[in-house]
């Protein structure tokens, strides 16, 4: 068969450039004149192309870029052909409130396996929360306290050994501690990270997981091809997300082999494998394995980030350290373990204010949590947003609202210590402050999708902070710089360098 010479003559570089120009022109015309979002301000490139958000997500600068877009264009901005970001008080309930009609965005379909984190359907999510709620109650967090205390004692021993060698990179050590605590909480056994000379593979894989999931969600066919390239290093990198679930599968199967399905134990899995006494059916083994991996991931990175920034802020403020130490010494004599009981910590105003202020200024999730409007659309503030539009409000911007958090870039725990402060409870995310501050404050998320492990995280942080502050004074390492604590965000924030601190016994 003879080649089609007419077609070959027609497909020329000049014509190809022409087609590309026409395509771009049509995109611009749609963004400027036809799109139902055309009246919302934003960069023209963002309005006309998904490449804008693709670059932000790959470069790890979504939260910072969106902050600059808001600064230039105002409180409501378009950052994608079908994506709008808000920085207004009235958007919080409309997007994240318990009565919101918005659901999680399609982005969640590509991340993690079938755990509560990714479920988009409102009814299905509510059902799953009921299924796992027994494992994440404040009572469960208190039951795990002896195990937490034991690991914190080991951690103090490691600090005592390592501090004599020089400055410690505490982001690493807090990750190891919290990863071990997660193992104890879920399956009753430490992951051995504190005692290992190598960083556990699970922890290494966490850093790349959201990047891989994002690529798989955006380019499924391309990633299918890339995953089959016979390049060993590439295969190892891309297989990281599978290894997360290999870990949880092995941990669960070992647990069942040791303790069976009706163990008289206090860990979370013991509550998930037992048949519920209520009308809610239990989880299958496969779903329990998914939840172990997903929630271990979530707990390890979020809590370790908060602890790193908290001790960095204390290192910058010796007077605040002294005030906190005095508060911690006031309730009672220190127990023989050297680790205060959580019951003596839960209502300490300065301790809780420092934790809250750290999560305000340094939220482990800086970007806005992505939601999607219902098919019929939704009124958000002064705008009607068409159906199936991705909407969000940046956690970082909410926490740095200058009207309700004056001098927002300064670390001021006192802002949470108003005269009308409510006593903290083991699972309260915020005490003190104004109602507007509490509404803007969302380090654990908001509404129906609020973090299931909130109570456990707060109990853990109170115990760790109290134990270390009573034992040590902390200061910045000799060569530490502010830039060390800069971060990228791939859903969770990742420190670019590290948190280098010196610990000295008091």
Q: What are phi and psi of 73, to 5 degrees?
A: -110, -15
Q: What is the pLDDT of residues 313-336, one digit of tens each?
A: 999 999 999 999 999 998 655 667
**Interacting residues of 15 by C-beta distance below 8 A, sequence separation 6+:** none
List the beta bridge partners of residue 472. 505
pLDDT value, residue 140: 86
pLDDT value, residue 1: 47
Q: What is the pLDDT of residues 164-209, one digit of tens each?
A: 999 999 999 999 999 999 999 999 999 999 999 899 999 999 999 9
pLDDT value, residue 422: 54
The CB density around residue 223, as the number of other CB atoms within 10 Å, is 16
The dihedral of CA 287, 293, 296, 298: what is its sign?
A: negative
Which residue numbers belong to the known binding site? 451
End-to-end CA separation in angstroms for the chain: 89
pLDDT value, residue 128: 92
Which residue numbers belong to the known binding site for heme? 451
pLDDT value, residue 32: 65
pLDDT value, residue 9: 62
Nearest to 209 by CA among 490, 453, 496, 444: 490
pLDDT value, residue 141: 85
Asked if 478 and 168 touch (Cβ cutoff 8 Å), the reply is no
The runs of H, that is alpha helices, within 240-317 are 240-259, 268-273, 285-316
pLDDT value, residue 424: 53
User: What is the CA angle 79-84-87, rounded to 5?
Assistant: 105
DSSP 448: G
The CB density around residue 281, as the number of other CB atoms within 10 Å, is 11
Topology of domain 114-365+407-505 in CATH is Cytochrome p450 (1.10.630)
Buried-state track 138-174, b at ≥16 Cβ within 10 A, e below 16: bebbbbbbebbbebbeebbeebeeebeeebbbbbbbb
Segment-wise mean pLDDT, segments of 10 residues, the chain, 506 residues: 55 68 67 80 92 94 98 97 96 95 95 91 92 84 91 96 96 98 94 94 94 92 94 95 96 94 86 76 91 93 97 98 94 71 93 98 97 97 95 98 97 85 54 90 93 93 97 96 95 94 97
């Amino acid at each position: 068969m003879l080649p089609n010479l007419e077609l070959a003559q027609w497909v020329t570089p000049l014509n190809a450039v022409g087609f590309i120009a026409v395509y771009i022109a049509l995109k611009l015309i749609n963004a400027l004149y036809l799109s139902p979002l055309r009246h919302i301000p934003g960069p023209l490139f963002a309005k006309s192309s998904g490449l804008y958000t693709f670059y932000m997500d790959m470069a790890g600068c979504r939260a910072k870029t969106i902050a600059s877009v808001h600064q230039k264009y105002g409180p409501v901005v378009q950052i994608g052909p079908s994506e709008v970001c808000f920085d207004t008080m009235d958007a919080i309930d409309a997007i994240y409130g318990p009565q919101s009609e918005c659901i999680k965005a399609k982005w969640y379909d590509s991340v993690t396996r079938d755990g509560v984190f990714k479920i988009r359907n409102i009814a299905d999510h509510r059902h799953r929360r009921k299924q796992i709620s027994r494992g994440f109650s404040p009572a469960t967090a208190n039951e795990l306290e002896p195990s937490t205390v034991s690991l914190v004692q080991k951690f103090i021993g490691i600090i005592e050994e390592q501090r004599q060698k020089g400055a410690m990179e505490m982001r690493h050590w807090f990750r190891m501690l919290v990863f071990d605590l997660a193992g104890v909480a879920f399956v009753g056994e430490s992951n051995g990270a504190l005692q290992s000379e190598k960083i556990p593979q699970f922890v290494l894989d966490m850093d790349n997981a959201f990047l891989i999931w994002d690529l798989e969600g955006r380019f499924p066919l391309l990633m299918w091809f890339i995953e089959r390239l016979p390049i060993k290093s590439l295969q190892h990198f891309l297989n990281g997300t599978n290894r997360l679930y290999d870990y949880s599968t092995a941990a669960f199967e070992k647990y069942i082999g040791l303790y069976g399905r009706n163990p008289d134990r206090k860990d979370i899995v013991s509550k998930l494998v037992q048949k519920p006494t209520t009308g809610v059916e239990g989880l299958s083994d496969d779903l329990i394995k998914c939840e172990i991996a997903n929630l271990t991931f979530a707990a390890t990175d979020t809590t370790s980030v908060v602890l790193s920034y908290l001790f960095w802020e204390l290192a910058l403020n010796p007077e605040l350290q002294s005030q906190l130490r005095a508060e911690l010494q006031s309730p009672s004599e220190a127990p023989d373990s050297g680790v205060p009981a959580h019951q003596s910590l839960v209502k300490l105003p300065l301790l809780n204010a420092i934790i809250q202020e750290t999560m305000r200024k340094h939220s482990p999730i800086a970007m806005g949590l992505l939601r999607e409007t219902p098919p019929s659309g939704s009124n958000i503030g002064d705008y009607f947003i068409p159906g199936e539009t991705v909407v969000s409000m940046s956690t970082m911007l909410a926490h740095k609202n200058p009207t309700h958090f004056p001098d927002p870039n300064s670390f001021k725990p006192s802002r949470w210590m108003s005269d009308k402060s409510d006593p903290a409870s083991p699972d309260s995310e915020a005490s003190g402050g104004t109602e507007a501050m509490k509404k803007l404050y969302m380090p654990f998320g908001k509404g129906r999708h609020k973090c299931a492990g909130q109570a456990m995280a707060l109990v853990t942080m109170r115990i760790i902070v109290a134990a270390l502050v009573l034992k040590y004074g902390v200061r910045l390492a000799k060569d530490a710089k502010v830039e060390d604590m800069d971060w990228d965000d791939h859903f969770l924030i990742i420190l670019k360098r590290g948190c280098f601190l010196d610990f000295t016994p008091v």
